[in-house]
Copies of this chain bind each other. A is one copy, B any other.
Amino acid sequence: MSQYDAETTLSRRPAGSSDERNVWEGRVSGAWNIGENPNGGYLIAIVQRALSELAPQHPDPLTLTVHYLRPGVPESPCEVHGELLRSGRTLSTLRGTLLQEGKIRLEVLAGFGDLGMRPAAPDLTLAAPTIPPPERCVRRSGDEQGVALPLLDRVDVLLHPDQAKAGSAGKAEVSGWIRFVDGRDADAASLVLFADAYPPSVFGLLGLVGWVPTLELTVHVRRRPARGWILGRFTTTDLADGRMVEDGALWDSEGHLVAQSRQIALVIARD
């Protein structure tokens, strides 16, 4: 079993032993940390495991929104509460809550569907940027950010050589390649994780400004990815009053747009 699948494992609490909602139990690993806290995309993956059991006929997250209420606690148990709000022919709407120590960490609202295996050519699409191939890119470094990044033992993140050092891009942009370290193929669900695993694009303009906690992230998965590296590009054109809106896009190894993301985050200066 892949690290991603093994470390997002949940067991459903036997029916009748709890309240009316569906409850799962699991454990948050420390292997996906950014510094002291579990990566947010990894925590979403745990919630997605629960939601996928509530709508097995709709495997792909067409739209997933997360609010990060509190940091997760690594190496610690967790509970996921899931609720199927509506199940239609083509779409299931679900919400999920990840709790640790009795407190809500994540709140997720999502629409799952079936993206199919052989989509037609898109009517409109975002073209992938041209960046150097993975072997000429630079591995994302925890050292530079001043925190340990255990996450990078789970996902390879190779950045555009002109954008790898904070402040070097000269604009609020970061691009590069991403894949699972252990060779697991990306699927629609794991694109949500990939959309939250790059350094903040504002670092490209401002350098290591400090801490950039996400308040809310929405990912639209547009297509199941082909095997191989995923290319991501993230940009910020809206930073005001200590809050920024960052747009992202992911393309697969065949050049197809596979996901778009947008998040609002705080930009908190380092002490």
User: Which A residues contact B (CB, under 8 angstroms)?
Assistant: 62-63, 65, 67, 69-70, 85-86, 91, 93, 95, 104, 107, 109, 111, 115-116, 119-120, 122-126, 172, 205, 215-216, 218, 220, 222-223, 236-241, 243-245, 257, 260, 262, 264
Contacts and interface: CB of A to CB of B under 8 A. Distances in A.
A109 B111 contact: no
A93 B116 CA distance: 34
A235 B172 CA distance: 22
A51 to B, nearest CB: 13
The copy count of this chain in the complex is 2
Contact of A215 (B62, B122, B172, B216): B62
B237 A222 contact: no
B240 A125 contact: yes
A107 B83 CA distance: 12
Contact of A262 (B70, B126, B237, B262): B262
Given A67-B111, A125-B237, A238-B126, A104 B91 contact: no
Contacts of A238: 122, 124-126, 222, 257, 260
A75 B105 CA distance: 39
A144 to B, nearest CB: 22
Given A63-B216, A63-B264, A262-B218, A107 B104 contact: no
Given A124-B238, A239-B122, A240-B125, A109 B67 contact: yes
Contacts of A240: 119-120, 122-125, 222-223, 257
A220 to B, nearest CB: 5
Contact of A69 (B62, B85, B123): B85
A95 B85 CA distance: 13
Given A62-B215, A216-B63, A239 B107 contact: no
Nearest to A218: B218
A116 B241 contact: yes
A107 B96 CA distance: 13
B215 A63 contact: yes
